[in-house]
Structure 1
Amino acid sequence: MAKPFLELEAQIPELVKANSKISVRSSRMNRQLEQYVLALLTKILVEMGQERFIEMLYTITKELTINGIKANQKRVFFEDEGLDITNTEDYEKGIKDYSKKFSEKMADQYGRRCLARGVYIHLKFNYCKDGLMVEVTNNTPVIKAEETRMREKMKKSMGYNDIAEFYMDNMDNTEGAGLGIALIMILLKNEGVDPNLFRIITYPDKTIARVEIPFTENYVSIRSGELADLN
């Protein structure tokens, strides 16, 4: 049985003291989850002496969590409407219907539907004295068209240092998730963190968004190990 967020929040000091890996699952974004994530990140970063990253990492984690939850809820919406999200015609119709019909009230309702169907995001925090990794996994795949758009936004964001500038240059073709990706890339660049340490990894059954923040020069990126495995 899932624990209430108040109970989880009360356990944060003990968790951070005893572990270097902490995770939580959720099917909806609400104030309780936001408070838990902020409290957890604050405790971890204070313990690591890296308070300067609190605001940035909270913003990034919240953005990735919202994107993952929305992607899951969108899939459930398509199922409820009898539409195939992988079919081009169904996708175009479904996106229009989703944009028209979906609301904050429905987000809570669809959060419960996702929970009932076993659809969720899995937040993981791994940390040590040399760095921290935040990983958000949603257990649904991203369709090819959406992945292509995400990759384009990530590539385009590399040329910007200001989110307002990015928005003005792309206001005609930037939806919420695209703007969020640009925000993450720009936040990392402005904090002197290599934006290549932000990755979106797609699998047939899930999507992973990962951000790594080095604290020291000794930090070894997970990406280095993944690239080594490919060689």
Structure 2
Amino acid sequence: MAKPFVELEAQIPDLVKAKSKIVVRSSRMNRQLEQYVLGLITNILSEVGQSQFVEMLYTISKELTINGIKANQKRVFFEDEGLDITDETDYFKGIKEYSKKFSEKMADEYGKRCLARGVYVQIKFHYCLDGLLVEVTNNTPVIKTEEVRMREKMKKSMGYNDIAEFYMDNMDNTEGAGLGIALIMILLKNEGVDPNLFRIITHADRTVARVEIPFNDNYVSFRSAELAEI
């Protein structure tokens, strides 16, 4: 039986002191999950003496989680409508219907449907005195059309230092996820963190969004380790 959030929140300080890796899993975003994630981030960064990153890391974690949950709910919506999300005709038909029908009430309902079907988002925090990694995984793959769009937004975001400027320049062709990607990269740049430490990794059965924050020059990023193996 799942523990209530009040009980889980009370355990956060001890959990953070005892572990260097913490994983949270959910099928929907609500105020309770937001508060729990904020509590985790606040305690983790306090533990490693980097509390100045709380607001940025919470914003990034929340944005990635919402994007992952929406992607999962969209896929379930397509299934329920009898549409093939990988078919171009069905995709554009489904996106139009999804945009027209979806609401906050439906988001809660589709969160329950995702849970029943084993569709979820997993948030992992891995941290030490040298740096921190937050990795958000949703256990559904991204389709090629949306992956291309995400890569374009990431590339375009490199040229901006202000989210309002990005929005004004791209307001005709930026959906929520695209704006979120730009926000993350601009936040990292403004905190002096290399935006290349934000990655989206696609697999046949899942999509992984990863952000790393070095605290000092001793931190060896996962990205550096991966490049060294090539």
TM-score interval w.r.t. the shorter chain?
A: over 0.9
Q: Residue 193 in 1 paired to residue 193 in 2?
A: yes
**Match of 1:163?**
163
Q: Distance in 2 between the 1:125 and 1:218 partners?
A: 19
Residue deviations 1:132-166, cap 9 Å, x none? 00000000000000000000000000000000000
- RMSD of Structure 2 on Structure 1 (CA): 0.7
Which residue type is aligned with residue 185 of structure 2? M
Q: Counterparts of 1:210-221 in structure 2 under 5 Å?
A: 210-221=210-221
**Match of 2:91?**
91
* TM norm structure 1: 0.98
How many angstroms does 1:47 deviate by?
1.1
Q: Distance in 1 between the 2:19 and 2:166 partners?
A: 39
Query: What secondary structure does 2:49 align onto?
Result: coil
**Match of 1:122?**
122
**Match of 1:109?**
109
How many angstroms does 1:216 deviate by?
0.7
Which residue type is aligned with residue 29 of structure 2? M
How many angstroms does 1:81 deviate by?
0.1
**Match of 1:22?**
22
Q: Counterparts of 1:1-231 in structure 2 under 5 Å?
A: 1-229=1-229, 231=230
Query: What secondary structure does 1:29 align onto?
Result: coil
How many angstroms does 1:73 deviate by?
0.2
Q: Distance in 2 between the 1:155 and 1:7 partners?
A: 42
* TM norm structure 2: 0.99
Which residue type is aligned with residue 188 of structure 2? L
Q: Distance in 2 between the 1:218 and 1:209 partners?
A: 23
Q: Distance in 2 between the 1:211 and 1:4 partners?
A: 28
Question: How many residue pairs get matched?
Answer: 230
Query: What secondary structure does 2:134 align onto?
Result: strand
Residue deviations 1:37-93, cap 9 Å, x none? 100000011111111100000000000000000000000000000000000000000
Q: Distance in 2 between the 1:37 and 1:53 partners?
A: 14
Which residue type is aligned with residue 60 of structure 1? I
Q: Distance in 2 between the 1:76 and 1:109 partners?
A: 11
Q: Distance in 1 between the 2:41 and 2:178 partners?
A: 24
Query: What secondary structure does 2:32 align onto?
Result: helix
How many angstroms does 1:6 deviate by?
1.9
Q: Distance in 1 between the 2:60 and 2:30 partners?
A: 16
How many angstroms does 1:228 deviate by?
2.3
What residue ranges of structure 1 are gaps of 5+ in the alignment?
none
How many angstroms does 1:10 deviate by?
1.2
Residue deviations 1:80-131, cap 9 Å, x none? 0000000000000000000000000000000000000000001000000000
Q: Distance in 1 between the 2:163 and 2:189 partners?
A: 11
Query: What secondary structure does 2:122 align onto?
Result: strand
Q: Distance in 1 between the 2:7 and 2:94 partners?
A: 38
Query: What secondary structure does 2:205 align onto?
Result: coil
Query: What secondary structure does 2:119 align onto?
Result: coil
Q: Distance in 2 between the 1:3 and 1:72 partners?
A: 24
